[in-house]
Structure 1
Amino acid sequence: MKTPLRLIVTLGAVVALTAACNPFGASSRERLPEDPRFAEFTFDSDNKPTVQERTDSFNERWPGLQATEGHVTIEYSPSDLFPNPDPELWVTGVATVPDETITALMEGTTSSTLLPGIYPGLYQYVPQDCHFVTIPADHANSVLQTNQDAIYSEWGSFDITDFAASTDCNLIIVTGEAIRG
Structure 2
Amino acid sequence: MSYRIVTSTVCAFALSMGAAKADEILDNLKEAIAAYEEGEIQETMEIVEYTRTLLSQKRSGTLEEVLPDALAGWTREDSDGSDNAAAMAMMGGGTLVQARYRKEDGTKLDLQIMAESPMIAMMAAQLGNPAVLAQMGKVKRIKRQKVLLNKDGGLQAMVDNRFFVQMEGNATHEDMLAYFEAMDIKGMKEF
TM-score by shorter chain over 0.5: no
TM-score, structure 2 normalization: 0.33
Give the structure with the higher percent helix.
Answer: 2
Per chain length, whose mean CA-contact separation is higher, i.e. which structure has more relative contact order (CA < 8 Å, sep 6+)? 1
